[in-house]
Amino acid sequence: MSGAVAAIGVVIGMVGAIGVVSPGILLSPALDGLKSAPRRIYGLAVARLVIGVILVVAASSTGFPTLVMLIGAVFILRAALIPMLGLDRTRALIEWLQGRSLLVTRLLFLAGVVPLGVFLVWAAIKQ
């Protein structure tokens, strides 16, 4: 199961790297997708839920089971929050992020998303 954690970490790290290099590649399609097909928000919730469950279930096979389980629980909580926030607030959050300067947006990806991906890969390798 640690392979699943590593795969999730690689994907998260790659998304973070893309966000550092060109945040618009991620944010513009996300916002356009919510405008053109609002039901995609539920797909996002399901994806976060699946990732969270995989992390919680696979946590015991990693080098840092408590932290990986906590990260999985945060993903599950964020999945539950998406329908509660609703489409308008989610769209407003993405628009807010797009409105930040390029430097701030890149720093958010660099300081948050990339380290999360790297940590998950490291935790999976350090069994």
- Whole-number pLDDT of residue 16: 94
Residue 50 has pLDDT above 80, yes or no: yes
To which H or E segment does residue 54 belong?
helix 40-58
To the question of pTM greater than 0.85 for the whole model, the response is yes
Over residues 43-61, mean pLDDT? 94
- Over the stretch 75-113, which tens digit does the pLDDT of each residue have? 999 999 988 888 888 878 878 887 888 899 899 899 999
Residue (of 84, 86, 99) closest to 28 by Cα position: 99
- Whole-number pLDDT of residue 62: 95
Which contacts (CB < 8 Å, 24+ apart) does range 85-92 have? 87/34, 87/38, 87/41, 90/34, 90/41, 91/31, 91/34, 91/35
